[in-house]
Amino acid sequence: MTTLLHPPRFALAKHDGHHLRLESAQGATIDVFVLEEDIVRVRVLPDGRAHGPRTWAIAPGLDDVPYEGRDRLDATGFTLPSFGILSNPDEIRVETSQIRLTIALAGGHCAWEMRRDGGWHCVLQDRATQAYNFGWWDERIYHYVRRQPGEMYLGLGERAGSLDRANQSYRMTNVDAMGYSAKTTDPLYKHIPFYLTWQRDTRLGFGLFYDTLADCTFDMGRELDNYHGPYRHFVADHGDLDYYFIASPQTPLAAVRRFTWLTGRPALMPKWGLGYSGSTMSYTDAPDAQRRMGEFLERCREHDMLCDSFHLSSGYTSIGAKRYVFNWNHEKFPDITRFVQDYLENGVKLCANIKPCLLRDHPEFEQTARDGLLIEDRNGEPAWVQFWDDVGAYIDFTNPAAALWWKEHVKDALLRYGIAATWNDNNEFEIWSPQAMAHGFGTPWPAREAKVLQTLLMMRASRDAQREHAPDKRPFLVSRSGGVGMHRYVQTWSGDNSTSWETLRYNLKMGLGLALSGVSNIGHDIGGFSGPAPEPELFIRWIQFGVWMPRFSIHSWNDDGTVNEPWMYPSLTPQVSALLKLRYRLLPYLYQLLWDSTMHYDPVLRPTFAEFPDDARCYAESDDMMVGASLLAAPVVEPGQTQREVWLPTGVRWTCYWSGEQFEGGQSVTLPAPWDRPVMLVREGSVIALNVAGQQFGHRGDQRAFIVVPFADGKRACRRYVEDDGESEAWRHGAFGEWSVCAQGDASTLTLAVEATGSMPRTPASVEIRLPASEARGVAMAAGRIVTDERVGGWRRIVIELC
């Protein structure tokens, strides 16, 4: 009790450049690292020693970290700005241009302020009563902070339920949650201990990232204890309290961008990864799988369904009823080379499912066990886990020899046949026994403390196999599970969702949660993966929603053995084909959003309040989202609807994509919501790139057009769009071109400036501009010549011959 009444008292013991260390007589230490004007790191060590491993999360502006991890004291990539420091007998204060951190020397409690309008505003304070665990309670790591009225909490990855995490608690541990409820199930697949706090009244916010591999819990105000006042807390099962504070003034997107930058550059994947990806377990589970796979191509051609890839489910690896990674079932696939070549000749890439666990009767189990490539128990025997229909042992990716084995098998079993990509699945590494040990790069530690690391290293080994096999091509990978840093390697999705209208509604929020957590290349199993087949209306609304997601895959394992396919309902097949063509029409815009994610760390998907923080109505729970900064998407998530009410954020005009009709912001409008036309609106001042060439399965054209919605007040609207080959690594060396499209006008004339520069993959002779039909001003060109000016539907179509 004496210890509790007299918490450690700290004193400044070290000030070395960007690093300060505070020490107590009891041995506890607090490290402060001033990394950027808007990023400050704090580490609290109750006994003065670091207990956690190196970090695989921190890679500021970098493509990756060393395979064995990054030293936690490595400051490479940070600007390490100068900062002010002030101390007195009661506290020490550290100040950058954006952040002021005050640490009470009695107890080490932190108070964080942010600068705005020339003054400092308090945004976060540690709880005054027992904010940390200085070894008083147990071996876990605790951080308690005060909770203020009106705060929103966003992020934490793909959590179920509302986008605002306030008043809820979440367990962060990777599990295989097949058939989960998108409204209530917790935990789920991913481990991303980062969240945003946003104060809607002050428009001040910040991000907190806890750099840990540990299973952990976030309580965002669900817990209540009279002795401490309102609070929220973070608890990790092991490691250290090591967190980053990221300032986010004016918009929550500032912290999202900086957190994404902090944890590494998102992978730029090939453009074909944005196309429709077919997938179903039933094809490869069938005894005549190669024939069934061929039928998929035939049906795509028959029904004019555009398709760029197919996700090859794990049935291709079967022996009997079980799956054996890297094994080909030659009865199902008698001619692998011909099978792959047929797909490539039709313009469809294959993405093969791979799993990181070898069942105990896997053909290579005994050899990998002898070679020490599996996670073992403390006696050197395989650490057994339940995996699908049997027990087995996981590959240990903290052993470099195991990663080498994995890469060679990816190349030999898959890539050499022409398979383009890997689908890293069932990679939650559900290891619970304290007896299981990871190799740990030569320093073993409990495997259950490295689950997230294993899934990251699996992705990395799979990516490196692709790089070694085809160094001039961009790797494409998909992973279901993951943690902080996964965006450096893979596209992901929200896992094995259930088939329901509720899932459709809450998967939207799950996707926004991932995007606000630095993971933008995302999607969902369209139609629902687990449960009954979707009824026609639900299926078509799912496809409408999928049109806007970076990942578009129809995937299922329906209870009744049916398959979710674009043609599953003949009466809907024309609408599905039209929606896929709409998806491909929007690909230039979506591709630019992924380019901006890679280059500028912009999230692809955003809640409307992130773009319009001054509009109070945007904070209300809704089913809308922004796709980039320019497109407002409003999916229908309830049955029986023929219209969709949409709140138009204030301050700008909005133009209906379909009719060209314009609306002032700051009002609700009700728009038609037919099955072949998802509701979407274009923001004033936007330029949206389209592909208006004719599209057929196996024969895709590429012709650029741009929707331009000028400002009404004469401001300049301008946007750049990248053009490259979409598949090679040549972009890293500047081998890409750019469109620049600008519009500015006065009361009588709208001047357009269109320019194509750089290394364009095609030399365009002309380009099409689409203006709202209500745009009645005369159009002048800064360069080039107008050859067509006509009204088509709700749009004014202008064709410009370029100089």
Residue 301: inside a domain: no
Give pLDDT tens digits for 24-68.
Answer: 999 999 999 999 999 999 999 999 999 999 999 999 999 999 999
What average pLDDT score do residues 644-667 get? 98
User: pLDDT tens digit string along 248-307?
Assistant: 998 999 999 999 999 999 999 999 999 999 999 999 999 999 999 999 999 999 999 999
pLDDT band at 5 (very low <50, low <70, confident <90, very high): low
Which of 230, 262, 294 is the C-terminal boundary of a domain?
262
Considering the domain architecture, whether residues 33 and 133 belong to the same structural domain is answered as yes
Shared domain for 668 and 716, answered yes or no, is no
717 and 618 share one domain: no
CATH number assigned to the domain comprising residue 715: 2.60.40.1180
**pLDDT confidence band for 698 (50 / 70 / 90):** confident
647 and 791 in a single domain? The answer is no
Per DSSP, the three-state class of 460 is helix
**Which residue among 214, 231, 262 closes a domain?**
262
Instruction: Please give the pLDDT value at position 653.
Output: 97
State mean pLDDT over 420-441: 97
Mean pLDDT of 661-690: 98
CA torsion angle 310 314 316 317 (round to 10): 150
The rounded distance, in Å, linking the Cα atoms of 346 and 365 is 37
What values do phi and psi take at 130, rounded to 5?
55, 65
Contacts of 82 (CB under 8 A, 6+ apart): none
pLDDT at 615 over 90: yes
Asked if residue 176 belongs to a domain, the reply is yes
Which residue is associated with the tokens 């196996």?
698
Residue with structure tokens 């050899």? 367
In a domain, 377, yes or no: no
Cα separation, 685 vs 707, whole angstroms: 10
Sign of CA dihedral 759, 762, 765, 766: negative
Q: Is 532 helix (H, G, I), strand (E, B) or coil?
A: coil
User: How big is the CA angle at 21 (ends 19 and 25), to the nearest 5 degrees?
Assistant: 175
Question: What pLDDT, in 10s, does the model give residues 552-607?
Answer: 999 998 888 889 999 999 999 999 999 999 999 999 999 999 999 999 999 999 99
> Could you tell me the residue range of the domain that residue 629 belongs to?
605-683
What is the C-alpha separation between 657 and 653, in angstroms, rounded?
13
Minimum mean pLDDT among 333-337, 468-472, 773-777: which range? 773-777
Same domain, 667 and 775: no
The answer to whether residues 35 and 137 belong to one domain is yes
Does residue 675 sit in the same domain as residue 713?
Answer: no
Q: pTM higher than 0.85, yes or no?
A: yes
On whether both 737 and 634 belong to a single domain, the answer is no
Domain boundary (243, 262, 281) is at 262
Q: Give the model confidence (pLDDT) of 401-423 as tens digits.
A: 999 999 999 999 999 999 999 99
- 533 part of a folded domain: no
Q: Are residues 183 and 116 in the same domain?
A: yes
Cα separation, 273 vs 664, whole angstroms: 36
Mark whether 194 and 137 lie in a shared domain.
yes
Model confidence band, residue 1 (pLDDT cutoffs 50, 70, 90): very low
**What is the domain-level CATH number for residue 78?**
2.60.40.1760
Task: Give 268-324 as a DSSP string.
Answer: ---GGGGSEEEE-HHHHHSTTHHHHHHHHHHHHHHHT----EEEE-GGGGEETTEE-
Is 245 within the bounds of a domain? yes
Report yes or no on 252 lying in a domain. Answer: yes
The count of domains in the chain is 3
The CA dihedral of 120, 124, 125, 131, to the nearest 10 degrees, is -160
pLDDT, averaged across the chain: 96
pLDDT digits (tens, 9 = 90+) for 303-319: 999 999 999 999 999 99
Nearest to 644, CA basis, from 541, 554, 552, 504: 541
User: Is residue 522 included in any domain, yes or no?
Assistant: no
Is residue 56 in some structural domain?
Answer: yes
| Beta bridge partners of residue 799, listed in sequence order | 768, 788
pLDDT of residue 762: 87
Share of the chain above pLDDT 70, in %: 99
| 382-400: pLDDT as tens digits | 999 999 889 999 999 999 9
Residue 3 scores a pLDDT above 50: no
- Alpha carbon separation from 670 to 263, 631, 734 (Å, rounded): 41, 17, 45
C-beta of residue 74 within 8 angstroms of C-beta of residue 264: no
CA 190-191-192 angle, to 5 degrees, is: 110
Residues 115 and 24 in one domain: yes
Q: How confident is the model at residue 700 (pLDDT cuts 50, 70, 90)?
A: confident
Same domain, 709 and 674: no
Q: What is the pLDDT of residues 723-757, one digit of tens each?
A: 999 999 999 999 999 999 999 999 999 999 999 99
